Chain A
Amino acid sequence: MHHFKRLAASTAIVLCASGALAQDSITVAIQLEPPNLDPTSGAAQAIDSVLYANVFEGLTRFDADGAIIRGLAQSWDISEDGLTYTFNLAAGVTFHDGTTMDAEDVKFSLDRARAEDSTNAQKALFADIADVTVIDPLKLQVTLSKPNGMFLFNMAWGDAVIVAPESIDTIATNPIGTGPFAFANWVQGDRLELARNDSYWGAAPALETATFRFISDPTAAFAAMMAEDVDVFVGFPAPENLPQFAADPRFQVLNGNTEGETILAMNNQREPFDNPLVRRAVTHAIDRQAIIDGAMFGQGTPIGTHFAPHNPDYVDLLANSQFDPELSRSLLAEAGLADGFTTTLKLPPPSYARRGGEIIASQLRAVGIETEIANLEWAQWIEEVFTNKDFGLSIVSHTEPMDINIYANPGYYFQYDNADFRAVLDELNATTDPAGRSALLAQAQTIISEDYVNAYLFQLGVATVARAEITGLWVNQPTAAVDLTGVSWGN
């Protein structure tokens, strides 16, 4: 009996110890594996999902709600003319390899991103930078060639993180940043491990280690969560299983929003979509709620323009394109297409496009528009639709934040060409006061909605499934990120 008690006591201690160990490590699953670990070249969102705010930091950063907050720059002054930004950097910041992070590193990072031979996927973010000057190790000045109200926002992107010349050559396989977690190990195809950076300059994170796993198959995702192989799944790929997780006390489901405006893109320069009446007819033929329910299992918010509904500057323009098949048919008749027409509908791989495409095809058929559906891989989509503009209709979610400026580029794949819209955007870029910007953004949203450039479907949602005890996860995805800074196993 005595022995048994001792055994029981030691077992209890062992259990407590293993419980305590489990408290500071976490396994996070996402769908796609990063192809490499360099956020400053290549567009793959998975790179940011793993590294943003965890391993790499920029001058500014996005917080969980999408607001721009301080990053490595602790404060800044903007000159009267909006051309000169003076940044004061945080003191005592070191990279994970022990080297100091100072103004020279910032200059190196910005100059590298905007260089002639740069392979930065978002090079446009840096286009207005005319000069970067180091004033002292913790102070530097960025001069713009023209005022840019988005500059601090641009510097928050994962593509604008601060890297060091000492470690840049091996960044793709051994990323060295300044963040609260350091890269530890990557078993390609299986998992990537991060470990707490004990000399982090900011508040220390609660987690000691984090493991990312990459599970793209929806059934495998469900199984991994249910078997408790993973603790968190960000961007859970099987929306049909969410109610089951919500009902299970072991789990919590976080339904958030993303910056992804999901649109039915129309080729504005190709017949018959060069006729605004036809484009309007298409928008009235579409029942957004049926697509959200049928393709997304209810995940998503209807939109009436190319702007995120959770943004304070969003204007509700759904009334411009209400579901009205009668109106749609009469508009087609007015355009001389009373008998309808046939066009192509080219769909990239995500389920919003493949499932949504089937529903849209049947809704369009109801007003007389026949579609030939083509399922494309991403690489094909980029070549055929995006680059060669060889399409009638396509469905795609534009996941970049604040990207209404794509409508100011007549060469962009849907080929919208409106000088008035471009004038509004030029004014917006030169405006820094918030009220003025709000008014101009509202104007821009209204123009593209009333021109029926594309059919605006819904804001893409994101579901995170996690063990019930975990706190501090981002609900929304203002940028692709799994920020573990504030994540812990609640007690």
Chain B
Amino acid sequence: MIRFALGRLASLTASLIVASIVIFAVVEVIPGDPAAFMLGVNARPDTIAALRAEMGLDEPMVTRYAAWVGGMVQGDFGMSWTYKTPVATLVADRIWVSLPLAIYALALSTLVAFPAGIYAASRRGGAGDTAIMGATQLGVAIPNFWFAMILVLIFAINLRWFSAGGFPGWADPFAAIKALTLPAIALALPQAAILARVMRSSLLDMLGEDFMRTARAKGLTRRQALWRHALRNALIPVLTIIGLQFSFLLAGAIIIEQVFFLPGLGRLIFQAISARDLIVVESVVMLLVFTVIMVNFIVDLTYAAVDPRLRARA
């Protein structure tokens, strides 16, 4: 087990190093001089040169890469050029919007998808199954930003139950959760649709397995067998999908954050790219990569703990 963990740790470190090089290189080749952008069209060349020097842009690329990685290893993610604020502070502020939003959306989608998927699988081919599969087809097809606009039109403009957007902060938790509700619903819809379909087909696969026939032969009813044996086994692919969806929700909510003008991580990256605040782009993307790799590492370890066959192969 320890050898397995060490092996995984080595490959994790290698992934991080490769990722840092790729991120730095990609960000470096984006056209557009950050200093010239910040100073606008009336700036004199000597002013731009002064700002480039202040930002450290006149240093060679290798020096800047080393400084960036060296800082990160010590927990220093650098200082945003445009916001003049430490990147760590920017991320810390935004994560309190993005993380709760991702969890909220995931909770909603799971709450809807599990019962829907299980019900559809247990009534395979019936009217309920057809209705649910039709609804999920629609859920996958509807773009979430369009759905978000419809939600705003109904619940913010016409009914006035919610604000059209913005985030009041966590000082008042009720107001904060209320502000995240419409965005979470908009994000959850397509995820729930996908999850319900995966849940259904995964359950149906299990229902055809030998051990299900054995369970039925023991005298369990079809429903008892489904709940006691099929569901647990069917959860593995579903959990994998949930893991992927969570990474996506954490950083991929840019459009929804834009529609509801929420100060989340996606919008931070988006603004930083258009303002050429490269240090923010690099550090935030690196943090996200780190998070995803860490989650995968933990998942790998859990799989290995559960399933001895994986350890043996390593």
Q: Are A215 and B261 in contact (CB under 8 A)?
A: yes
Which of B9-17, B21-29, B99-107, B160-168 lies on the face that meets chain A?
A: B160-168
Q: B51 contacts which chain A residues (CB < 8 A)?
A: 41, 119
Q: Are B32 and A382 in contact (CB under 8 A)?
A: yes
Closest to A125 in B: B42
Q: Does B200 interact with chain A (Cβ within 8 Å)? A: no
Q: Are B164 and A227 in contact (CB under 8 A)?
A: yes
Q: Are A400 and B42 in contact (CB under 8 A)?
A: yes
CB contact under 8 A between A189 and B267, given known A220-B260, A220-B261: yes
Q: B169 contacts which chain A residues (CB < 8 A)?
A: 187
Q: Does A121 interact with chain B (Cβ within 8 Å)? A: yes
Q: How long is the Cα–Cα vector from A320 to B31 in the complex, in angstroms?
A: 38
Q: Are B38 and A43 in contact (CB under 8 A)?
A: yes
Which of B58-66, B78-86, B124-132, B218-226 lies on the face that meets chain A?
A: B78-86
Closest to B55 in A: A119
| Chain B interface SS verdict (over half) | loop
Q: A118 contacts which chain B residues (CB < 8 A)?
A: 47, 50
Q: Are A189 and B263 in contact (CB under 8 A)?
A: yes
Q: Does A224 interact with chain B (Cβ within 8 Å)? A: yes
Q: Are A377 and B274 in contact (CB under 8 A)?
A: yes
Q: Number of A interface residues, CB 8 Å?
A: 47
CB contact under 8 A between A189 and B268, given known A35-B38, A215-B261: yes
Chain B stretch 294-308: residues in CB contact (< 8 A) with chain A: none
Q: Which of A33, A120, A413 contacts B271 (CB 8 A)?
A: A33
Q: Are A226 and B44 in contact (CB under 8 A)?
A: no
Q: Does B289 interact with chain A (Cβ within 8 Å)? A: no
Q: Are B85 and A227 in contact (CB under 8 A)?
A: no
Q: Are A189 and B164 in contact (CB under 8 A)?
A: no
Q: A215 contacts which chain B residues (CB < 8 A)?
A: 165, 261
Q: Are B164 and A382 in contact (CB under 8 A)?
A: no
Closest to A219 in B: B149
Q: Does A252 interact with chain B (Cβ within 8 Å)? A: no
Q: Does A216 interact with chain B (Cβ within 8 Å)? A: yes
Q: Does B229 interact with chain A (Cβ within 8 Å)? A: no
Q: How long is the Cα–Cα vector from A198 to B43 in the complex, in angstroms?
A: 36
Closest to B161 in A: A227
Q: How long is the Cα–Cα vector from A219 to B153 in the complex, in angstroms?
A: 10
CB contact under 8 A between A387 and B47, given known A220-B165, A377-B274: no
Q: Does B156 interact with chain A (Cβ within 8 Å)? A: yes
Chain B stretch 36-80: residues in CB contact (< 8 A) with chain A: 36-44, 47, 50-51, 54
Q: Does A379 interact with chain B (Cβ within 8 Å)? A: yes
Q: A214 contacts which chain B residues (CB < 8 A)?
A: 261
Q: Does B93 interact with chain A (Cβ within 8 Å)? A: yes
Q: Are B31 and A121 in contact (CB under 8 A)?
A: no
Q: Are B261 and A124 in contact (CB under 8 A)?
A: no
Q: How long is the Cα–Cα vector from A123 to B41 in the complex, in angstroms?
A: 12
Q: Are A217 and B82 in contact (CB under 8 A)?
A: no
Q: Does B94 interact with chain A (Cβ within 8 Å)? A: yes
Q: B85 contacts which chain A residues (CB < 8 A)?
A: 173, 188
Q: Are B261 and A383 in contact (CB under 8 A)?
A: no
Q: A229 contacts which chain B residues (CB < 8 A)?
A: 156, 163-166
Q: How long is the Cα–Cα vector from A136 to B94 in the complex, in angstroms?
A: 48
Q: B197 contacts which chain A residues (CB < 8 A)?
A: none
Q: Are B43 and A217 in contact (CB under 8 A)?
A: no
Q: A383 contacts which chain B residues (CB < 8 A)?
A: 31-33, 36
Chain A stretch 185-226: residues in CB contact (< 8 A) with chain B: 187-191, 213-217, 219-220, 223-224, 226
Q: Which of B31, B261, B277 contacts A190 (CB 8 A)?
A: B261
Chain A stretch 25-45: residues in CB contact (< 8 A) with chain B: 33, 35-36, 38, 41-44
Q: B261 contacts which chain A residues (CB < 8 A)?
A: 190, 213-217, 220, 224
Closest to B274 in A: A377
Q: Does A172 interact with chain B (Cβ within 8 Å)? A: yes
Distance (Å) between the CB of A241 and the closest chain B CB?
Answer: 12
Distance (Å) between the CB of B30 and the closest chain A CB?
Answer: 8
Q: How long is the Cα–Cα vector from A417 to B278 in the complex, in angstroms?
A: 36
Q: Does B122 interact with chain A (Cβ within 8 Å)? A: no
Q: Does A117 interact with chain B (Cβ within 8 Å)? A: yes
Q: Does B142 interact with chain A (Cβ within 8 Å)? A: no
Q: Are A121 and B43 in contact (CB under 8 A)?
A: yes
Q: Are B38 and A227 in contact (CB under 8 A)?
A: no
Distance (Å) between the CB of A47 and the closest chain B CB?
Answer: 11
Q: B271 contacts which chain A residues (CB < 8 A)?
A: 33, 189
Closest to B162 in A: A227
Q: What are 24 A-B interface contacts by the 8 Å CB criterion?
A: A38-B84, A41-B39, A43-B38, A43-B43, A119-B51, A119-B54, A121-B38, A121-B43, A189-B267, A190-B167, A190-B263, A215-B261, A217-B261, A220-B152, A223-B152, A224-B163, A224-B261, A377-B32, A378-B37, A378-B274, A382-B33, A382-B37, A383-B36, A400-B42
Known: A226-B164, A227-B156. 4 other contacts (CB 8 A): A213-B166, A217-B258, A379-B31, A386-B41
Report the 5 A-B pairs with minimum CB-CB distance, sorted nearest first.
Answer: A43-B40, A189-B263, A379-B32, A35-B82, A172-B84
Interface residues of B (CB under 8 A from A): 30-34, 36-44, 47, 50-51, 54, 82-85, 90, 93-94, 149, 152-153, 156-157, 160, 163-167, 169, 258-264, 267-268, 271, 274-277
